[in-house]
Amino acid sequence: MAKYLLSLLCILLCGCLFHRSAKLKPTSFPAAAEISGKIIDAAKLKAGGKLALTPFRAGPQAVADEELDRVSMMLIKGLTESLQAAGSAWTVTDEAAEADYVVEGYIEEFSLPGKVSGVLRKKRTRLSVSGEVYRQDSQARVLTFATFKNITRKNFMDASYQAGKSIGDFILAQSARESL
């Protein structure tokens, strides 16, 4: 009996001595996503107008599932809030038929690590989005964009929102450039 008590006491002491306490991390929003793009028709872009946003679809390295749909909606939310800033030449609409321009995009790469896979590999993955703005009447591209962001399971919704804001800010910045 004493042997079992001594063994139990030894296990408890070892567990308490080697237990790491959780460190508190400051809460912060993810940094803005890296973005690049190309202006194809600067004059039409500078004019602004009504802009329709379509849901971002799954690309080659993304699985179409509920998480991807949520990422798509957060991208659209960030894009909408950015484009509806004060003094913007763009009006966001849901109806593609009445819009002057349409934003169409693809979530090229997106996959979250499994909840258990953190033991086996890093818990980071990447969100990669690309797309274009085109004229509704002529189907001519006006602007293309691509953005990426490293994400984790905990911050993928915030990262999606920030990527959408980055895309919207990019469209605003390119349409407001004086050197167009």
pLDDT digits over 159-170, tens only? 999 999 999 999
Residue 142 lies in a domain: yes
Confidence of residue 131 (pLDDT cuts 50, 70, 90): very high
Least Cα distance to 103 among 164, 32, 180 occurs for: 164
Residue 6 lies in a domain: no
The CA distance from 110 to 60, in Å, is 10
Residue 20 lies in a domain: no
pLDDT value of position 48: 85
Residue 106 lies in a domain: yes
Q: Tell me, what CATH number does 41's domain have?
A: 3.40.50
Residue 146 lies in a domain: yes
9: buried, middle or exposed (CB in 10 Å: 19+, 13-18, 0-12)?
A: exposed
Confidence of residue 30 (pLDDT cuts 50, 70, 90): very low
Residue 21 lies in a domain: no
Confidence of residue 53 (pLDDT cuts 50, 70, 90): very high
Q: Which domain holds residue 57?
A: 32-113+121-176
Residue 62 lies in a domain: yes
Does the pLDDT of residue 17 top 70, yes or no? no
Indicate the helix (H) or strand (E) that contains 25.
none
Q: What whole-number percentage of the chain has pLDDT above 90?
A: 36
The CA distance from 177 to 90, in Å, is 14
The CA distance from 65 to 103, in Å, is 21
Q: What is the DSSP letter of 94?
A: S
- The mean predicted confidence, pLDDT, of the chain is 80
Query: What DSSP string runs through 38-78?
Result: EES-HHHHHH-EEEEEPPPEEEEEE--SHHHHHHHHHHHHH
Instruction: Please count the structural domains in the chain.
Output: 1
How many Cβ atoms sit within 10 Å of the Cβ of residue 2? 6
Residue with tokens 């920030």: 162
Residue 19 lies in a domain: no
The CA distance from 145 to 37, in Å, is 4
